[in-house]
Structure 1
Amino acid sequence: MIRIIAVLCRLSSPTDCHEQVVTTSDFAQVTMQSCLMGAPQLAEWMAQHPAERLAAWRCTIGKQGDGRGA
């Protein structure tokens, strides 16, 4: 399974950033190549979270921690 870990920053406080795993069941068909190119599912996920700005993302294979931290 490919996991996408996003670095998200609050629009109300641009220096307040955190990492979050954004992979859901919608991401089941994400390949490493599509992830590195910015999976379309990531844009859809961001549209559902308008209070945050995507600062960066990375792609990992397998399980990742709970997504908290910076």
Structure 2
Amino acid sequence: MITILAVLCSLTSPASCQELTVTTSDFADISMQSCLMGAPQLAEWMKQHPAERLAAWRCVSGSRNRNGA
């Protein structure tokens, strides 16, 4: 299992950023290579969060116990 940790910053307050675990069924079968190349699913996920800017992301093997967005 690959987990994507995304750093999202508010468009209204660019200095206000937080790291979130991206958890949706769209990412269930993502490969590490696909994740590192930008995960097309991540772009789709960002469309659902128009008030935020994706500042960074990282791919980790396994699951994380953080709040998903």
- TM-score above 0.5: yes
What count of residue pairs does the alignment treat as equivalent?
68
- Runs of 4+ residues deviating >2 angstroms: none
What TM-score do you get using the length of structure 1 for normalisation?
0.90
* Counterpart Cα distance in 2 of 1:33 and 1:54: 19
Structure 1 distance, partners of 2:23, 2:57, is 11
Identity %: 69
CA shift for structure 1 position 67: 4.4
- Which residues of structure 1 form unaligned runs of 5+? none
- Paired position in structure 1 for 2:17: 17
Corresponding residue of 2:64: 64
Give 1:31 deviation, angstroms.
0.2
Please report the TM-score for the alignment, with normalisation by the length of structure 2.
Answer: 0.92
Cα deviation digits, residues 7-47 of structure 1 (max 9, x gap): 00000000000001113111112100000001010000000
Looking at structure 2, the residues matched to 39 and 63 of structure 1 have their Cα atoms a distance apart, in angstroms, of: 17
Unaligned runs of 5+ in 2: none
Give 3-state SS (helix, strand or coil) of 1:46's partner.
helix
What residue in structure 2 maps to residue 35 of structure 1?
35
